[in-house]
């Protein structure tokens, strides 16, 4: 295995780091290898999943309701603009300096980052539902709740899952800098080169990149699965394409 990896130079060393334990740069400690990476990976996933669940529980019902009553467009667009402009590093540093280190603070930061794309995608998803369809639903005697659950929500699901996909990718990516707040995720080798060296940084980067791409892929599939068949058949030619509202436009990390 070592021969072909050597050809890859730094990358070969980095891949070896992922699979094999070695002594740290400063000496005395064993680093790298599957057990340690798995340990980091579990923490990474733990903070990410918890953050997304909390963000979804807060943001989706709120913006479903806002979208249904047709209010709060300003809130929906403003959060997305502000959300994009605040650097994740600045937000994390803000929490570290003003509130403190630790797991809960990291999760709080990730929740804050995940909320804007969820609000925007849910709100826009609901508002994009053909008003004639909603009107027809009301005309047939559906109640407010029935309109939401049977008409608006199914038609908005692709957009909502688009938001979830963005939020998930963002959260997993941002969890990489969690070690700055003393939470040991896959970013730990990246943030502490004095122990892990460049090879460790590169190895961790490879793992983080692969995991993020996997998350992106899985959510892209989910998005496809939840799209109602009638919308899937083809792009409706008459419909205006929305460039940046429902699709991925958040990348704060």
Partner 1 sequence: MTVPLAQLQIQEPGGSDACAAANDFCPSWIVENIDRYWSPLLEHVYLTVAPVVIGFAISLALAIFAHRRRWLTGPIITVTGIFFAIPSVAAFFLLQPITGLGYTTAIVALVSYTLLIIFRNITNGLRNVPAETRDAALGQGLTERQVLFRVELPMAVPEIMAGLRIATSTTVGLAALAVFAGAGGLGTEILLDKRFKSNVAVAGGLAVLLAALFDLLLLALQRAITPWQRARA
Binding site for partner 1 (CB under 8 A): 9-11, 81, 84-91, 93-94, 96-98, 169, 172-174, 176-177, 180, 187, 190-194, 198, 201-202, 204-206, 208-209, 212-213, 216, 240-244, 247-253
Smallest CA-to-CA distance from 43 within 133, 162, 172 is with 172
Minimum CB distance to partner 1 smaller for 122 or for 166: 166
Q: Is 22 helix (H, G, I), strand (E, B) or coil?
A: strand
| Closest approach of partner 1 to the CB of residue 170, in Å | 9
How far apart CA 227 and CA 208 sit, in angstroms, is 29
Minimum CB distance to partner 1 smaller for 128 or for 212: 212
Which tokens go with 167?
A: 């939020």
Minimum CB distance to partner 1 smaller for 122 or for 245: 245
| Closest approach of partner 1 to the CB of residue 20, in Å | 19
Minimum CB distance to partner 1 smaller for 150 or for 251: 251
| Closest approach of partner 1 to the CB of residue 82, in Å | 8
**What H or E segment, with its residue span, contains residue 88?**
helix 88-98
| Closest approach of partner 1 to the CB of residue 242, in Å | 8
Minimum CB distance to partner 1 smaller for 156 or for 191: 191
Rg (CA), the chain: 22
| Closest approach of partner 1 to the CB of residue 18, in Å | 13
Q: Is 227 helix (H, G, I), strand (E, B) or coil?
A: coil
Handedness of CA 147, 149, 150, 153 (dihedral sign): positive
How far apart CA 108 and CA 118 sit, in angstroms, is 15
Minimum CB distance to partner 1 smaller for 66 or for 219: 219
Q: Is 31 helix (H, G, I), strand (E, B) or coil?
A: strand
CA 101 to chain centre: 22
| Closest approach of partner 1 to the CB of residue 79, in Å | 13
Q: Provide, for the chain, the percentages of residues in helix, strand and coil under a 3-state DSSP scheme, each rounded to the nearest 5.
A: 75, 0, 25
């Amino acid at each position: 295995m070592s021969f072909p990896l050597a050809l890859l130079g730094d990358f070969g060393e980095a891949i070896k780091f992922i699979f094999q334990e070695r002594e740290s740069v400063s000496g005395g400690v064993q680093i790298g290898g599957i057990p340690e990476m798995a340990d980091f990976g579990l923490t990474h996933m733990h903070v990410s999943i918890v953050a997304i669940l909390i963000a979804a529980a807060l943001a989706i019902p709120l913006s479903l309701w806002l979208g249904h009553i047709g209010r709060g467009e300003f809130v929906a667009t403003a959060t997305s603009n502000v959300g994009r402009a605040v650097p994740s590093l600045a937000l994390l540093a803000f929490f570290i300096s003003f509130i403190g280190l630790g797991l809960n603070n990291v999760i709080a930061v990730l929740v804050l980052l995940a909320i804007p794309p969820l609000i925007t995608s849910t709100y826009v998803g609901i508002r994009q539902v053909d008003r004639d369809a909603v009107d027809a639903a009301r005309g047939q005697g559906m109640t407010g709740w029935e309109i939401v659950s049977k008409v608006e929500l199914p038609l908005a699901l692709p957009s909502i899952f688009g938001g979830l996909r963005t939020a998930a990718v963002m959260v997993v990516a941002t969890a990489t800098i969690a070690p700055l707040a003393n939470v040991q995720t896959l970013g730990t080798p990246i943030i502490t080169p004095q122990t892990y060296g460049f090879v460790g940084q590169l190895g961790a980067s490879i793992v983080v990149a692969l995991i993020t791409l996997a998350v992106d892929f899985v959510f892209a599939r989910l998005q496809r699965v939840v799209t109602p068949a009638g919308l899937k058949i083809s792009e409706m030619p008459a419909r205006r394409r929305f460039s940046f509202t429902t699709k991925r436009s958040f990348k704060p990390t």
